[in-house]
Amino acid sequence: MSAPPGRTSEAAFPSEGTASGRKGVPIGSTTFAFPVRVYYEDTDAAGVVYYANYLKFMERARTEWLDAHGLPLAELERVHGVVFVVTRAEIDFRGAARLGDRLEATVAFEPVGRAQMVAHQSVRRGREVLVEGRVRLACLARDGWAPARVPPELARLMEASL
């Protein structure tokens, strides 16, 4: 992977307008951004995004990345018989989002083996990084839940982004 979290070049950031509701946009050659708007349900009693909801925003970005590359999760399960499970998540909180904020959840994937990958992710408000994370995922066979090879199309996409 060319840029770990927090090291994407300034030129790779989309303009402020990308969080306006577009489905998801690639930024740079390896990072994908998905727009997120903060709703009341995302906040705690103080009006700040509840910490666990950042994981949901990151999950959406991973799912949308797959879909944007023509590999929706349902198809990966149906055609290749695989599912993905999170085996580890490391998150650093740097700032807080509030009700009504327009954010972007980013993702860039790194293959780390035949049956694993790592998602380098962030949640940003404009150019401000609020949360950075590293999420390790395992590819498992839908039947039996044993480790399975990452489908070739997905492996090629991740290799191309290195």
Cα separation values, 90 from 26, 38, 44, 58, 133, Å: 23, 22, 22, 12, 5
Closest residue by Cα to residue 103 from 35, 53, 47: 35
Q: Is 44 a catalytic residue?
A: yes
Catalytic residue among 44, 67, 92, 101: 44
CA dihedral 91, 92, 94, 95 (to 10 degrees): 20
Contact partners, residue 69, CB within 8 Å, separation at least 6? 157
Complete edge-to-edge strand list for the sheet that includes strand 102-111: 25-27, 31-37, 102-111, 116-125, 128-141, 82-93
Q: Which residues are catalytic?
A: 44
